[in-house]
Chain A
């Protein structure tokens, strides 16, 4: 049975933990709002770009001069998995859920005899993947110094990916991130970025004039589309991370509250027991006289 002093210390310690989780929850809530706004603001550009790319892709997909970014290399031997996770922990199952689908995909591909290369964004995913897929990690992007994800961050990642593609280091690239659905629901999502995925029903119903030329436009447009997809994923991931952290910290705060209640009851009972015991001793002593 813990002494009264122990119990008291314990309650104090849980109380300060609760203060910390409460503060983290509020910080996450504020950051979530900002992250959501950023994701919202980036949507028109991404949508428009996807429209244009789909229209263009449908019209040139069959031509032999179509760029490699659109048609692929003609092989699917080497896969690049871009796993996007957070730089910080304490956000519930956020990182584990991404790592889980990425690991599942990697193991499936390895089982099929394919070569798997993994590029990690954010250190939490790297730590988790290093354990059993360590030899497949080819590169890492550190965003721990970045306070607010900007288009330049996405451009850096996409430059690295595109350079690898140009050098023939992989055939298919897929990004893994958490799609933000709501504060309590983030969906881990794989999305193929190279070669560009064009929906089946996309068709070019208008004949466009191209300035300077179709090839020049596609050469400019496709890398931009890759960057934009990465940027969208980063933003969604950012919002998801804050959402997950907020929920996790809310749970932690509530648990701490429950624990404090339980400990307080135990403390009061022990105190009462000690008083009763003392009384009994005094009364018995007095009676014995």
Chain B
């Protein structure tokens, strides 16, 4: 079994990370999952959360707001809607998105409102985790 696999984190406007990693922890829509080399091919959607990669230089944390991940035995590609480093800048960006989400939720009703509120909860939890 190979030690590492190719990992790419891209958002529509730029490429955030690319390189060899041992494992990636992904905030999947149905729960967190960790992808390692030789993982069964999977496509999953993401919920807002923290994405952790374990590479040669240790663990790196990113925040993503949604999108999806394409996992194959050789590589993992995360196509995030928006992605930031898990730092003060990422936190500020997330807070802006959270405010936006609250506004959107207020204007919706029924199941759409519930879905939007869930996104807001996830975002709030992610902001807490960054600290």
Residues of A within 8 A of B (CB): 38, 41-42, 44-46, 48-49, 51-52, 56, 150-151, 154, 206-212, 216-217, 220-221, 224, 227-228, 231
Which of B40-48, B86-94, B104-112 contacts the other chain? Answer: B40-48
Which of B9-17, B52-60, B118-126 contacts the other chain? Answer: B9-17
Quick one: given A48-B77, A212-B29, are A206 and B41 in contact (CB under 8 Å)?
A: yes
User: What chain A residues lie within 8 Å of B12 (beta carbons)?
Assistant: 42, 45-46, 151, 154, 227-228, 231
- Report B21-57 CB contacts with A as 1/0, cut-off 8 Å: 0000000111001000000111111000000000000
User: What chain A residues lie within 8 Å of B44 (beta carbons)?
Assistant: 210-212, 217
Quick one: given A217-B68, A220-B68, are A209 and B14 in contact (CB under 8 Å)?
A: no
B83 to chain A, nearest CB (A): 10
Choice from A42, A44, A207, A212 contacting B30 with Cβ under 8 Å: A212
User: What's the dominant secondary structure at chain A's contact region?
Assistant: helix
**Roughly how many angstroms separate A220 CA and B81 CA in the complex, as a whole number?**
11
User: What chain A residues lie within 8 Å of B45 (beta carbons)?
Assistant: 211-212, 216-217, 220
User: What chain A residues lie within 8 Å of B70 (beta carbons)?
Assistant: 48, 51-52
Residue of A nearest to B72 (CB): A206
In contact, B30 and A211 (Cβ under 8 angstroms): yes
In contact, B43 and A44 (Cβ under 8 angstroms): no
In contact, B43 and A52 (Cβ under 8 angstroms): yes
In contact, A210 and B13 (Cβ under 8 angstroms): no
Choice from B11, B40, B41 contacting A45 with Cβ under 8 Å: B11
Q: How large is the interface on B (under 10, 10 to 19, 20 to 34, 35 or more residues)?
A: 20 to 34
B19 to chain A, nearest CB (A): 13
Quick one: given A44-B10, A151-B13, are A209 and B40 in contact (CB under 8 Å)?
A: yes
Quick one: given A41-B14, A45-B10, A45-B12, are A208 and B68 in contact (CB under 8 Å)?
A: no
Across the A-B interface, the 4 shortest Cβ-Cβ residue pairs = A211-B44, A151-B12, A209-B42, A41-B14
18 contacts between A and B (CB under 8 A): A42-B14, A44-B15, A45-B10, A48-B77, A49-B79, A52-B79, A151-B11, A151-B12, A151-B13, A154-B12, A206-B41, A208-B43, A209-B40, A210-B43, A210-B44, A212-B44, A217-B68, A221-B68
- Report B72-85 CB contacts with A as 1/0, cut-off 8 Å: 10000101010000
**Roughly how many angstroms separate A38 CA and B14 CA in the complex, as a whole number?**
8
**Roughly how many angstroms separate A46 CA and B67 CA in the complex, as a whole number?**
13
**Roughly how many angstroms separate A41 CA and B41 CA in the complex, as a whole number?**
27
B119 to chain A, nearest CB (A): 13
Additional A-B contact list (10), CB under 8 Å, known A48-B79, A208-B41: A41-B14, A42-B13, A44-B10, A48-B10, A48-B77, A154-B12, A209-B42, A210-B44, A212-B44, A227-B12
Quick one: given A38-B13, A42-B14, A217-B68, are A210 and B8 in contact (CB under 8 Å)?
A: no
**Roughly how many angstroms separate A46 CA and B10 CA in the complex, as a whole number?**
9
User: What chain B residues lie within 8 Å of A56 (beta carbons)?
Assistant: 43
**Roughly how many angstroms separate A53 CA and B14 CA in the complex, as a whole number?**
20
Choice from A44, A52, A151, A211 contacting B28 with Cβ under 8 Å: A211
User: What chain B residues lie within 8 Å of A42 (beta carbons)?
Assistant: 12-14
User: What chain A residues lie within 8 Å of B13 (beta carbons)?
Assistant: 38, 41-42, 45, 150-151
Identify which of B33, B41, B81 gathers the most chain A CB atoms within 10 Å of its CB.
Answer: B41
User: What chain A residues lie within 8 Å of B41 (beta carbons)?
Assistant: 206-209
